[in-house]
Chain A
């Protein structure tokens, strides 16, 4: 079993839909969870950063962490064609400057 599992998609939704992206993980030591958005041929852009369990909201984006289930989610409300990208979950166990463990990424297409 890989440390971080993420459905690669592709996921196609109509404009305005609510998008749900998910990752599961096996390492119970992970405490810091991130979501990155990556457009084609670009570097990943940090969207959300959360610590431990709970919810965090930023505009149309909501990140949820359920450590008991080892499950994290990213919700995108009122999705736009500009949200079309690959979304990568990432996590780490330390608060220090340590490498992240990434999911494979989910490719999302929002159709106008």
Chain B
């Protein structure tokens, strides 16, 4: 299957700081990538759809000014958690699809906000 990478795999930050998470499609181009958040023992919750060259589409209840998404190229999307708070601590996962809707996920980024 297609390969999607994420960096960093784990990050610990202080409350009030910003954290950037990168999502890369390694062997295909992705005009669209998706960002999910997963709390312990919960399923994946879609946060936003990242579109190359245009603004991201956010799900209801997700603050676009807090979770900044940039899809600057066909292989890279970034999610920046601004002014992080402890309640933002979660597992963030991106996905992308080389064709149709067979989506492949990155390994995830575990964010801990102290």
Contacts and interface: CB of A to CB of B under 8 A. Distances in A.
Interface of A: 8, 32, 34, 36, 41-46, 49, 88, 90, 92, 94-100, 102-105
B101 A42 contact: no
A43 B101 contact: no
Contacts, number: 57
A42 B107 CA distance: 5
Given A41-B91, A44-B93, A90-B103, 19 more contacts: A34-B103, A41-B108, A42-B108, A43-B6, A43-B93, A43-B105, A43-B106, A45-B105, A88-B44, A94-B101, A97-B97, A97-B101, A99-B34, A100-B95, A100-B101, A103-B43, A104-B42, A104-B43, A105-B43
Nearest to B99: A97
Contacts of A42: 107-108
B78 interface: no
Nearest to A51: B100
